[in-house]
Structure 1
Amino acid sequence: MKIAHRIKIVGVVQGVGFRPFVYRLATNLNLFGYVVNKGGAEVEIFIEGEKRNVEKFTELLEKEKPPPAIFEEISISNEEPKGFTEFKILKSKHDFDKRSMIPPDIGICDNCLSEIRSPSSRFYKYHWNSCAWCGPRFSMMYSVPYDRENTSMEDFPLCKDCECDYKDVSNLRRFHAQGISCPVCGPKTIVIKNDGTIVKTEEDPVDFSARMLLEGKILAIKGVGGYHIASIASDDKVVRKLRKIKNRPSQPFAIMAKDIETVKTIAYLDEIGEKIILSPQRPILILPKRDSSKVSELVAPGLSTIGIMLPYTGFQHLLLEKIPDGFLIMTSGNIHGRPMCKDLECALNELGSIVDFIIEHERKIVHRVDDSVIRFTDGEPVFLRRSRGYAPLWISSPFELKEIVALGAELQTAGAVSFENKIIPTQFIGDLDDIGTLEDLERELEWFIKTYEIKPKAIAIDMHPLYKNRKLAHKLKSIYGAEIIEVQHHHSHLASLMVEQGYKIDEKAVGIAIDGIGYSPNGEIWGGEALIASYEGFYKLGGIMPFCLSGGDSASVYPVKSLISILSSVLDEEELIEVLRRRELLASLPYGEEEARITYTLSRNGKCFKCSSIGRVIDAISVLLKASYLRSYEGEPAIKLEALADKAKKGAELNAPIVSNDGMFFINTTELILNIIDHLDSVDSSELALGSLIALGRAFGHIAVEAIKGKRNLRGEILVSGGASVNTYLIRGIKEEARVRNIDVKINRKLPPGDGGIAVGQIAVASSKI
C-alpha cells in the first residue's frame, strides 16, 4: 500500500546539512518526492512510497538528523500520492508558511579538523575548512533561505572538486553543503602590515603569525564574526604593552587554549564546564584559575577567575598548535568603547595603532558577532553575553505575542523582534553611547524585520528619558506607523525571566531585580527592588532603602562616592573624612579630600538623586574593603568584591537590617556598612566581603519569602534577574532564606540576566499592553 505525507519542519533546519540528509534517507528507503528550503527558513518535505517505508522515514527523521539540526515544530499531513519517480532537492523557494530559526555560527567539527591535519587530504592546512555540520552561518548571511548565493560565499564559485563533492549524494558532509570550499576555490589568508602594506612571504600565514607572536608582536586576526587582537599571554611585558596601547587598564582579557588538556593546566574544570567549553558553540567560559598556570597575572588582574575558549576555526587550531604555551590572548578587536571591527578598513583605521600585523581573509563578514560569554553562578551556567553560537536562535514565549521591535537598554545591550509566540534576540550589540554601536543595533533590527517579514505594531523602549536609542525608536515609529511603549527597566528584567520560566499572561511572580541603575516610575534611580509582577504591571514590595547619591555619572566611576553618599546620613563630615583617611581612600578621587568634602555636602543637603541601587551599595563595600578603587569597566567593583569573597573560608556574621515603612520592607544598607566598619580591624577583608554579600542576599530573600507566604495565586518560587544576579554569594544568600520555606530560586539561563536580555522582557510587557 502506497501513502504520501507532507512534512513541514520549523527550527534550525537550513544550513546544517538537513536537505542532503533527507535525500539520503529517502533514497535509502526507496521513497520519492522532494525536499525544499522555504523563505521563512523552514523546510518542506513531500514523501511517498510503501507505507512501512514512509513510516520508517518519519521515525528516523528526527532520530538520525545532523548534529547541529534543531526541530522546534513538525507538522505531518496525509496527502494523495502524486506518482513521483525520484526524490529531488528542489531549488529554494522564497514563500513561506512558517518562519524558522536562522542557523547560528558553529565551531569547526572534528571531521573537518582531521582533514586539515592530514597530509593526504586536499584540505590539508586549509584554514577555512567547513562542511554541512560546521562553520559560519549567520555571520555570512545576506538573506534567507540559506543558499550559497544568499551568503558572502557567493564570491567563491566552487572549483571542480568541490562541485563534485557538492553533487555527490554519497558525500555525507558536503552533498549540497552551501558553505564548502577548499584551498583552490575558497577564501585566501593574507598578511598585512599595520600601514596597509601586503606582506609577501613564502611562509604559511599560520607559521608567520606564530613566529610574530612568539617575538612579542601583537596581531589582529580576522575570524568568523569579527577580528581578535592576539598576543602571548604568559609574558608580563607583552600583556602590559597590550593593556597600555588598548587603553584597557584592568578589564580581563579572554584566553584561547588549543585543547581541553591545556585548559585544565590553567583553570579548574568540572564535567559541566567541560561540556560547555567543548560544545559546537565554543563560548568563552569563566573558570576558577590555577595559581600554578603560566598565564600572566596581568591577563585578569585582581580576579580569581579567567575567561577561556577553545578554537572554533581551522586557522585558530593550526595557530595554537604552534604556540609552546598552548594558549594566547584572544580579545575583541576594537578600540575602547567602539564596536569590534569586521572589515579591513576598520582594522587599519582603528587597530593599526594597536597591532603590528593584520591577518586577513577574503570572506566578508555580514553580521558582526562577538564571542559569547558564560559564567557559573552558584554552580549554574549563566550568560554574560549571548552571541556567536547562540544568536539568533529564538526564545519561545508561553503566550501569543504581537509583532514588536524592542530596543533593549543602554549598556551591554541587544535588541529583539517578535512574532507568533517567538522572540528573536539579536546578537550582543554593546554600549549605545558609541554611534557605531547604535548604528549596528538599527542595522541588525532592520535585517530581522525584513527577514521575518515583520509588521511592527509597537516599538518597546526603556523608560529612561536619556537613553540613546530613543531617537531610533521614533525613526522606527515613523517608518512602520507603530506606537512607542515604554517599559520600566526592572519590570523588563523580571519579565524576561518570566518568559523563560513559562509564566502565562495572567500569572504573577515574586521577583528580585538587582543591578546598577534603572529609571523608576517616580524618577528615582532603582537597582535593588523586590516586586510582585505580571506582564501587564508590577508593584513594589521593598528593597534597598533609598539613599542620596551625589556625583552624577562620576559616582559610578569612583566607588568611594557611593560610600560617602551612604554614610553622609549617619556620620558628620569629620567622622567620614577620618574613615576615608584611615582606609587610605581619599587618593581614589581625582581631587582628593576636597572632592570628598564636596560630595559629602551635596549628599547631606539633599542635592542628589534618590537611589536604591544594589550596584552602588556593592561599589561602596568594594572600595571600603579595598577591592576596587575605580570602575574602569562595567561591573568592576562588584566583580572584584566577589573575587575577594572567593578567598574566604567563611563569611563574617554581618546583618543587613530590614525596616518597615508604608507597608514596604527596606534593607538598611547604611547599618550594614557601619557594621563592616566596626569589624575592619578584627576580621579579614575577604570574610567581610563574603559576609556582606550573603547578608544582602538573605535580606532580599526574606522580603520575597514574606511576600509568598499565605498567597495562593503565586508560584512557590522567587525569580531573580538583573546584572547583579550573576553574583554567586547574593544568590546563595537568597537561597538560604528561601530554603527554610522550601521555595525555589530561579535565575536567567537562556538569556543574560543583565541588560543583554532586557529586550525579551520589553517585548513580553509591551505585547501584554497592546
Structure 2
Amino acid sequence: MPLALPPGFERAPAVLALGAELKNTFCLLGQNKAVLSQHMGDLQDALTLTDFERNLALYQQVYQHEPQCIAVDAHPEYHSSRVGRTVSQQWNRPVFEIQHHHAHMAACLGEHDWPLSFNNDEHTDNSSHKVLALTLDGLGYAQEDETLWGGEVLLGHYTQVQRLARLKPVPLPGGNAASLQPWRNTVAQLHCAMGWGHVVQQFGELPAIQTITLQPVDTIVAMMDKSLNAPLSSSCGRLFDAVAALLGLSPAVMSFEGQAAMSLEASMLGEPENGQYWQQAQPYPFALQQEESGLWQVDPGPLWLSLLNDLQHQVPTGLMAARFHKGLAQVWTDCLQQLAQEYGVTHVVLTGGVFQNVHLTGEVTRLLQQSSEQPLTVLTHSQVPANDGGIALGQALIAAAKHIQLQQKSDERSSPCV
C-alpha cells in the first residue's frame, strides 16, 4: 500500500532508495507517494542479493518508475549501496549518500506526516519543525567521524541533523563477529568498565564468568588493548547482547542478529503474576556526562557492578532484565528531557531496531509523556518497521528533501532581480 508523502514534498522528484544491508527493503518515491518493497533480507547472502536485484527491476517496471536521483546508505561496503551506484551510472543520475540513523529518523517522521519546511532566507530546516531522535540499533556507519554508531540522539529534520548525545563507545572485538557472538560484547563491556582481570578476580566463581572464560578471552582482551580488529562503536544493540550473555540467555553463536536481545526481553515474560518483576524492578545505574566537545554521553559502566552483585545474590533473571530495561529507559529519558529544554524541542522520535522492544519503547514513552517539567510528544513506528526495514523510506525522503532544497536555490538564482 503506497504511503502518501507529508506536506512540503509536492515537488519531490522520482527517487529510488536502496535501503540497508540487513533486513533490506527498497523504496520507490514519486507522484506524491512512496512504495516500500516487501522484506528482502540479508544482502550478504548471494541468493537474497539476486532476488533483491530481480524485484528491484520488477518494481520499476510495474510502477513505470524512472528515478531522477538515487539514495543509498553512506556505508561504502553495503551491497545495496553498490547496486545503487551502478544504477546511477546506468541512468546517469546523482547519488545521495544518507547517514544510516538520519534515515531511521526520517522514516518515522514520514509515517507521521511531519511536514517539510524551509526558512525563506536560508533554505534551511525551519527550527520550529526540528525534533530530537533517539536512534538505537545494531550499528550504522557515520561519515562525519568514520565510526560505527548505534546509540545516538540527533537533532534535526529531513535535510540536516546534528548529534547531541551518544552511548559510550566500546570496542567490537572481531568486528562483525561481535554481532553473532554476544559473549564478545560482554567481555568488551566488562573490560572497559572494570578491567577483565579484576572481574575474574572478584567474580570468577560466577557460572556466567566461568562459561565466558571457556572462550578465547585472552585473545579478545589483547585485541582490544592493541586496537586490532576491534573498532569502537556506540551500538545499543551490542549492549543488549552483552547483558543477555552475562545472564546466560544467549548461545555462544547466535543464529541471527538480535536473537540475544529478544531472549533478554522474553525473560521478563516468565515472571510472576501481574508483572511483579517489572513493578518491583529498580533501575540499574547509568552515568550521564557531557564531554569537553559538548556531546553528552551515556555510560553503562556503573551498571555492571550492580548486575554482577545481583548475580552473586542469585536475583531472578527476569528481575535483572527488568532492572536493565528500566535503567536504560531512565538515563535516555533524562538526556532527552535536558536536550529538549535546551533546544526548545517538543517532539521526540524513537527509532532503530532496538525500539522493537515493547518494554523499552513503552517505558521511554511513559517517562517522556509524564514528565512534570516538560511533557514531550513521542513519535514511534506503526506503519514502517523501526529496524532497517524502514531505512529505505527515510533515505528516499531525505534525498527528495535535499533535491527540493537545491531546486529552490537554483530557481532563486535564475529569477530576475526586481
TM-score (norm 2): 0.85
User: Is 1:477 aligned to 2:88, yes or no?
Assistant: yes
Change (3 A) 1:748 1:542: same
Say which SS state the counterpart of residue 243 (structure 2) adopts.
Answer: helix
Change (3 A) 1:581 1:553: farther
Structure 1 residue 439 displacement after superposition: 1.9
Change (3 A) 1:502 1:557: same
Greater relative CO (CA pairs within 8 A, separation 6+): 2
Deviations 1:298-323 (A, max 9, x none): xxxxxxxxxxxxxxxxxxxxxxxxxx
Of 146, 153, 177, 1:554 maps to 177
Change (3 A) 1:678 1:584: closer
- 1:583 partner amino acid: P
Tell me the equivalent position of 2:198.
575
| Distance in 2 separating the partners of 1:556 and 1:581 | 27
Tell me the equivalent position of 1:743.
376
Deviations 1:223-243 (A, max 9, x none): xxxxxxxxxxxxxxxxxxxxx
User: Is 1:533 aligned to 2:159, yes or no?
Assistant: no
Tell me the equivalent position of 1:451.
62
TM-score (norm 1): 0.47
Structure 1 residue 588 displacement after superposition: 5.4
Structure 1 residue 619 displacement after superposition: 0.5
| Distance in 1 separating the partners of 2:234 and 2:101 | 12
Tell me the equivalent position of 2:138.
516
Whether contact under 8 Å (2:70, 2:94) holds in the other structure is yes
Say which SS state the counterpart of residue 164 (structure 2) adopts.
Answer: strand
Whether contact under 8 Å (2:22, 2:42) holds in the other structure is yes
Tell me the equivalent position of 1:495.
106
Say which SS state the counterpart of residue 686 (structure 1) adopts.
Answer: helix
Superposition pairs for residues 172-571 of structure 1, below 5 Å? Answer: 393-398=1-6, 399-400=9-10, 401-506=12-117, 507-521=129-143, 522-571=145-194
User: Is 1:601 aligned to 2:232, yes or no?
Assistant: no
Say which SS state the counterpart of residue 543 (structure 1) adopts.
Answer: strand
Whether contact under 8 Å (1:555, 1:561) holds in the other structure is yes
User: Is 1:729 aligned to 2:353, yes or no?
Assistant: no
Change (3 A) 1:643 1:452: same
Change (3 A) 1:499 1:414: same
Whether contact under 8 Å (2:107, 2:394) holds in the other structure is yes
Say which SS state the counterpart of residue 443 (structure 1) adopts.
Answer: helix
| Distance in 1 separating the partners of 2:239 and 2:265 | 13
Structure 1 residue 663 displacement after superposition: 1.5
Of 228, 245, 266, 1:643 maps to 266
| Distance in 1 separating the partners of 2:270 and 2:299 | 26
Tell me the equivalent position of 1:234.
none
| Distance in 1 separating the partners of 2:343 and 2:188 | 38
- 2:232 partner amino acid: K
- 1:768 partner amino acid: A
Q: Which runs of 5+ in 2 are unaligned?
A: 118-128, 404-418
Whether contact under 8 Å (2:206, 2:312) holds in the other structure is no
Whether contact under 8 Å (2:286, 2:300) holds in the other structure is yes
| Distance in 1 separating the partners of 2:50 and 2:199 | 45
Whether contact under 8 Å (1:464, 1:518) holds in the other structure is yes
Tell me the equivalent position of 2:121.
none
Whether contact under 8 Å (1:556, 1:616) holds in the other structure is yes
Whether contact under 8 Å (1:701, 1:733) holds in the other structure is no
- 1:733 partner amino acid: E
Structure 1 residue 580 displacement after superposition: 6.0
Whether contact under 8 Å (1:407, 1:461) holds in the other structure is yes
Whether contact under 8 Å (1:652, 1:687) holds in the other structure is no
Change (3 A) 1:580 1:419: farther
- 2:402 partner amino acid: K
User: Is 1:695 aligned to 2:327, yes or no?
Assistant: yes
Q: Which runs of 5+ in 1 are unaligned?
A: 1-392
- 2:152 partner amino acid: E
| Distance in 1 separating the partners of 2:393 and 2:235 | 22
| Distance in 2 separating the partners of 1:572 and 1:448 | 52
Whether contact under 8 Å (1:549, 1:555) holds in the other structure is yes
Whether contact under 8 Å (1:411, 1:432) holds in the other structure is yes
Of 376, 385, 409, 1:752 maps to 385
- 2:231 partner amino acid: F
Of 299, 302, 317, 1:668 maps to 299
Whether contact under 8 Å (2:283, 2:330) holds in the other structure is no
Which protein is richer in helix relative to its size? 2
Change (3 A) 1:748 1:580: farther
Structure 1 residue 723 displacement after superposition: 0.6
Q: Which has the larger radius of gyration?
A: 1
Change (3 A) 1:580 1:555: farther
| Distance in 2 separating the partners of 1:395 and 1:665 | 35
Amino-acid identity (%): 26
Say which SS state the counterpart of residue 663 (structure 1) adopts.
Answer: coil
Deviations 1:80-99 (A, max 9, x none): xxxxxxxxxxxxxxxxxxxx
User: Is 1:763 aligned to 2:384, yes or no?
Assistant: no
Whether contact under 8 Å (1:416, 1:445) holds in the other structure is no
Say which SS state the counterpart of residue 568 (structure 1) adopts.
Answer: helix
Deviations 1:104-145 (A, max 9, x none): xxxxxxxxxxxxxxxxxxxxxxxxxxxxxxxxxxxxxxxxxx
Of 618, 622, 628, 2:244 maps to 622
Which protein is richer in strand relative to its size? 1
Structure 1 residue 587 displacement after superposition: 4.2
- 1:694 partner amino acid: K
Whether contact under 8 Å (1:568, 1:603) holds in the other structure is no
| Distance in 2 separating the partners of 1:580 and 1:481 | 61
- 1:565 partner amino acid: A
- 1:614 partner amino acid: C
- 2:268 partner amino acid: A
Structure 1 residue 751 displacement after superposition: 0.7
Whether contact under 8 Å (1:702, 1:734) holds in the other structure is no
Say which SS state the counterpart of residue 748 (structure 1) adopts.
Answer: coil
Say which SS state the counterpart of residue 516 (structure 1) adopts.
Answer: strand
Tell me the equivalent position of 2:413.
none
| Distance in 2 separating the partners of 1:637 and 1:571 | 23
Structure 1 residue 459 displacement after superposition: 1.4
Structure 1 residue 575 displacement after superposition: 2.3
Report the number of matched residues: 373
- 2:338 partner amino acid: E
| Distance in 2 separating the partners of 1:395 and 1:524 | 33
Structure 1 residue 471 displacement after superposition: 2.8
Whether contact under 8 Å (1:583, 1:624) holds in the other structure is no
| Distance in 1 separating the partners of 2:173 and 2:192 | 12
Deviations 1:438-460 (A, max 9, x none): 12222222222222222211111
| Distance in 2 separating the partners of 1:580 and 1:547 | 22
| Distance in 2 separating the partners of 1:457 and 1:534 | 22
Deviations 1:30-64 (A, max 9, x none): xxxxxxxxxxxxxxxxxxxxxxxxxxxxxxxxxxx
Tell me the equivalent position of 1:654.
284
Deviations 1:299-351 (A, max 9, x none): xxxxxxxxxxxxxxxxxxxxxxxxxxxxxxxxxxxxxxxxxxxxxxxxxxxxx
Which has the larger displacement, 462-471 or 599-608? 599-608
User: Is 1:704 aligned to 2:315, yes or no?
Assistant: no
Structure 1 residue 429 displacement after superposition: 0.9
